[in-house]
Structure 1
Amino acid sequence: MHLETILPDPIFALAPWVVFLPAIGLILNLLVGKRLGEKGIGAIASLASGGAFGVAVALTLALARHPAGATVPLLNWITIGDLSVNWAFRVDTLAVTMMLVVSGVGTIIHIYSIGYMHSDVRHNGDPQRFRRFFVYLNLFITLMMILVSADNYLMLFVGWEGVGLCSYLLIGFWFEKGKDGIGNALAAKKAFIVNRIGDFGLLLALFFLFWNFHSFDFATIFAQAPQVAAAAPWVVLAITLFMLLGVTGKSAQIPLYVWLPDAMAGPTPVSALIHAATMVTAGVYLVARSQALFTLVPAAQTAVTWVGAGTALFAATIAVGQYDIKKVLAYSTISQLGFMVAAVGMGATVAGMFHLVTHSFFKALLFLSAGSVILGMEHGAEHGDLDLQDMRNMGGLRRRMPLTFWVYLIGALALAGVAPLAGFFSKDEILAAASRQAPAVFIVLVIAAFFTAFYMGRQVLMVFFGQPRSPAAGKAVESPALVTVPLVGLALLSIGGGALNLPGISTLETWLEHSLNGVRAGEFLLPVAAGSLGVALLGIGMAWWIYGRRPLADAKTPDPLARSLGPVYRGMERKWNVDELYHWILVRPYQALSAFLAGPVDQGLIDGLVNGIADLLAWLAGLVRRLQTGYVRTYAFAVLVGVVAVLAYLATVAGR
Structure 2
Amino acid sequence: MLDLLFVIPLLPLASSVLLLLLAGRLSSMQVAILGVGSMGIAALLTALVGWEFIQAGSAAYQQVLFNWLPINNAPINLGLYLDQLSLVMTCVIVGVGWLIHWYAAAYMFDDKQVQRFFVYMNLFVFAMLMLVLGDNLILLFLGWEGVGLCSFLLIGFWQYDADNVKAAKKAFIVTRVGDTAMMIGLLMLFQYFDTLYIPNILVQADRVSEPLLWWACLMLVGGAVGKSAQLPLQTWLPDAMAGPTPVSALIHAATMVTAGVYLIARMQPLFMQVPQMLEIVAWIGTLTLLLAGFAALVQTDIKRILAYSTMSQIGYMFLGLGAMAYDSAIFHLMTHAFFKALLFLTAGSIIVKMHHEQNIFKMGGLYKSLPLTSTFLLIGLLALVAVPGFSGFFSKEAILAAVWQADTTSSLLWWMAVFGAFLTSVYSFRLLFIVCFGSASYSPKGGDFAFSSQFVVPLIPLVTLAIVGGFISLDFSQVFSPKEQVHLSLWLELIPVGSMLLGLLVAWLIYFPRTKAQPAQGRLNQFLLGGLGFDWLYQQLFTRPLQLFARWNKSDLVDHFYQFVGWFNLSLNEVLVLSQNGKLRWYLCATLVGAALMLGGLLWWR
Q: For residues 525 and 69 of structure 1, what CA distance do their matches in structure 2 show?
A: 37
Match of 2:363 in 1: 394
TM-score by length of 1: 0.84
Q: For residues 593 and 296 of structure 1, what CA distance do their matches in structure 2 show?
A: 44
Instruction: After TM superposition, give the deviation of residue 57 of structure 1 in Å.
Output: 1.3
448 and 609 in structure 1: CA distance in 2 versus 1, 3 angstrom threshold: same
Match of 2:418 in 1: 446
2:73 and 2:195 in contact (8 A); partners too:
no
Residue 160 (str. 1) matches residue 144 (str. 2): yes
Query: Which of 456, 471, 486 lines up with 2:428 in the alignment?
Result: 456
Amino acid at match of 1:483: F
Match of 1:105 in 2: 96
544 and 74 in structure 1: CA distance in 2 versus 1, 3 angstrom threshold: same
523 and 186 in structure 1: CA distance in 2 versus 1, 3 angstrom threshold: farther
Q: What SS class does the counterpart of residue 40 from structure 1 fall into? A: helix
Q: Counterparts in 2 of 1:50-199, with a 5 A limit?
A: 50-64=40-54, 65-119=56-110, 121=111, 127=112, 129-177=113-161, 182-199=162-179
Instruction: After TM superposition, give the deviation of residue 570 of structure 1 in Å.
Output: 3.6
Match of 1:124 in 2: none
Match of 2:26 in 1: 36
Bigger radius of gyration? 1
72 and 588 in structure 1: CA distance in 2 versus 1, 3 angstrom threshold: same
Query: Which of 319, 323, 332 lines up with 1:346 in the alignment?
Result: 323
2:437 and 2:513 in contact (8 A); partners too:
no
Match of 1:205 in 2: 185
611 and 482 in structure 1: CA distance in 2 versus 1, 3 angstrom threshold: farther
Match of 1:47 in 2: 37
Query: Which of 435, 443, 452 lines up with 1:480 in the alignment?
Result: 452
1:430 and 1:522 in contact (8 A); partners too:
no
Q: For residues 104 and 332 of structure 1, what CA distance do their matches in structure 2 show?
A: 22
Match of 1:580 in 2: 536
Match of 1:304 in 2: 281
Instruction: After TM superposition, give the deviation of residue 218 of structure 1 in Å.
Output: 1.6
Query: Which of 188, 199, 202 lines up with 1:219 in the alignment?
Result: 199
Match of 2:604 in 1: none
Instruction: After TM superposition, give the deviation of residue 558 of structure 1 in Å.
Output: 4.5
Match of 1:256 in 2: 233
Q: Counterparts in 2 of 1:511-526, with a 5 A limit?
A: 511-518=475-482, 526=490
Q: For residues 80 and 38 of structure 1, what CA distance do their matches in structure 2 show?
A: 45
- Name stretches of at least 5 consecutive residues in structure 1 with no aligned partner: 1-10, 122-126, 379-386, 501-506, 628-640
Q: Which moved more, 1:586-595 or 1:419-428?
A: 586-595
Match of 1:638 in 2: none
Q: For residues 484 and 100 of structure 1, what CA distance do their matches in structure 2 show?
A: 22
494 and 585 in structure 1: CA distance in 2 versus 1, 3 angstrom threshold: same
Amino acid at match of 1:336: Q
Q: For residues 267 and 520 of structure 1, what CA distance do their matches in structure 2 show?
A: 44
Match of 2:399 in 1: 430
Q: For residues 456 and 619 of structure 1, what CA distance do their matches in structure 2 show?
A: 78
151 and 109 in structure 1: CA distance in 2 versus 1, 3 angstrom threshold: same
Q: Which moved more, 1:286-295 or 1:393-402?
A: 393-402
Q: For residues 216 and 557 of structure 2, what CA distance do their matches in structure 1 show?
A: 38
1:425 and 1:498 in contact (8 A); partners too:
yes
1:348 and 1:521 in contact (8 A); partners too:
no
Residue 357 (str. 1) matches residue 334 (str. 2): yes
Q: Which moved more, 1:483-492 or 1:607-616?
A: 607-616
2:363 and 2:438 in contact (8 A); partners too:
no
Q: What SS class does the counterpart of residue 66 from structure 2 fall into? A: strand
Q: What SS class does the counterpart of residue 70 from structure 2 fall into? A: strand
1:403 and 1:484 in contact (8 A); partners too:
no
Residue 466 (str. 1) matches residue 435 (str. 2): no
Q: What SS class does the counterpart of residue 583 from structure 1 fall into? A: helix
Match of 1:499 in 2: 471
Instruction: After TM superposition, give the deviation of residue 288 of structure 1 in Å.
Output: 0.6
TM-score by length of 2: 0.91
Amino acid at match of 2:70: T
2:155 and 2:164 in contact (8 A); partners too:
yes
Q: Which moved more, 1:94-103 or 1:539-548?
A: 539-548
Q: Which moved more, 1:205-214 or 1:570-579?
A: 570-579
Q: For residues 453 and 489 of structure 2, what CA distance do their matches in structure 1 show?
A: 41
Q: For residues 27 and 576 of structure 2, what CA distance do their matches in structure 1 show?
A: 64
Match of 1:634 in 2: none
Residue 531 (str. 1) matches residue 516 (str. 2): no
592 and 520 in structure 1: CA distance in 2 versus 1, 3 angstrom threshold: farther
Amino acid at match of 1:45: G
Instruction: After TM superposition, give the deviation of residue 528 of structure 1 in Å.
Output: 3.3
1:284 and 1:341 in contact (8 A); partners too:
yes
User: Number of paired residues?
Assistant: 582
Instruction: After TM superposition, give the deviation of residue 192 of structure 1 in Å.
Output: 0.5
Q: For residues 488 and 393 of structure 2, what CA distance do their matches in structure 1 show?
A: 11
Q: What SS class does the counterpart of residue 118 from structure 1 fall into? A: coil
Match of 2:597 in 1: none
What is the RMSD of the two structures over their aligned residues, measured on CA atoms? 2.6
Q: For residues 402 and 90 of structure 1, what CA distance do their matches in structure 2 show?
A: 45
Amino acid at match of 1:12: L
Match of 2:347 in 1: 370
1:308 and 1:340 in contact (8 A); partners too:
yes
CA offset digits 1:96-115 (Å, max 9, x no partner): 11000000000000000011
608 and 53 in structure 1: CA distance in 2 versus 1, 3 angstrom threshold: same
Instruction: After TM superposition, give the deviation of residue 484 of structure 1 in Å.
Output: 1.5
Q: What SS class does the counterpart of residue 184 from structure 1 fall into? A: helix
Instruction: After TM superposition, give the deviation of residue 598 of structure 1 in Å.
Output: 5.5
Q: For residues 23 and 545 of structure 2, what CA distance do their matches in structure 1 show?
A: 46
